[in-house]
Amino acid sequence: MKHPNFGLAAVSASQPTMSRLAAPLILVLALCAFGGARAAIEQVDREFVPFVSVVQTGTAVSFPNRDAILHHVYSFSPAKTFEIKLYTGKSPGEIVFDKPGVVNIGCNIHDWMVAYILVVSTPYFAKTNDAGAARLRDLPAGAYELRVWHPRQNATPENRSLVLESSAAPMVTFAVDVQPRKARYKPPLDRLKY
């Protein structure tokens, strides 16, 4: 029997041929939802780090500002709308991501600062590594649907059905057509103008 609560997953690793600014690919196997974990997306050198994150529904995310200048973090995404007004240092609070979906993050002061959070309703998800590979571990035997996601994919890759035996470790390969991440102009740091 197929498990009904399938989700997506996100990655923040680049393929070896892509630059540091390349976006990650995400793959997710969904079974059921758990919550309560914590994650952080830092602001370093006027960029969000990591560029792409994947979290499970119920995860609380902090946004520590490691820069010596102020940032104003926000999202107007349907999966989570929030705003953390001008601050530096420790995140003023955590944002709980309680609905699955893609959340686009921005800085109201620095337009080039962009990040993505993919919120999934499954404990089975993985982010690709620098070689573009990901591994899902400790999956119980059963039928699954495998999905992949990338913030700049040109088309949604077809989902794959997968039946796992107790000792199976199958390899599944996806080809994802992705627009390259273009470097956006980041002006020289001027502490008087943020």
List phi, psi (to 5°) of 45: 55, 40
| pLDDT tens per residue, range 44-85 | 999 999 999 999 999 999 999 999 999 999 999 999 999 999
| pLDDT tens per residue, range 116-162 | 999 998 888 888 887 888 888 778 888 888 888 888 888 888 888 88
Say if 64 falls within a structural domain.
yes
In this structure, the strands spanning 59-62 and 95-97 are antiparallel
CB 58 within 8 A of CB 38: no
Say if 96 falls within a structural domain.
yes
Kindly report the pTM of this predicted structure.
0.78
Say if 150 falls within a structural domain.
yes
Q: Which residues of 105-119 are buried (b: 16+ CB within 10 A; e: fewer)?
A: bbbeebeebbbbbbb
Which position has the higher pLDDT, 107 or 132? 107
47 CA to centre of own chain: 15
Written as one letter, the residue type at 19 is: S
Write the CB contacts of 30 (distance below 8 Å, at least 6 apart in sequence). Answer: 3, 5, 6, 7, 120, 121, 122, 124, 125, 144, 145, 147
Task: Domain count for the chain, please give it.
Answer: 1
- CATH classification at residue 39: 2.60.40.420
Mean pLDDT in residue range 15-33: 38
Domain span at 89? 26-164
CB 162 within 8 A of CB 143: yes
Say if 193 falls within a structural domain.
no
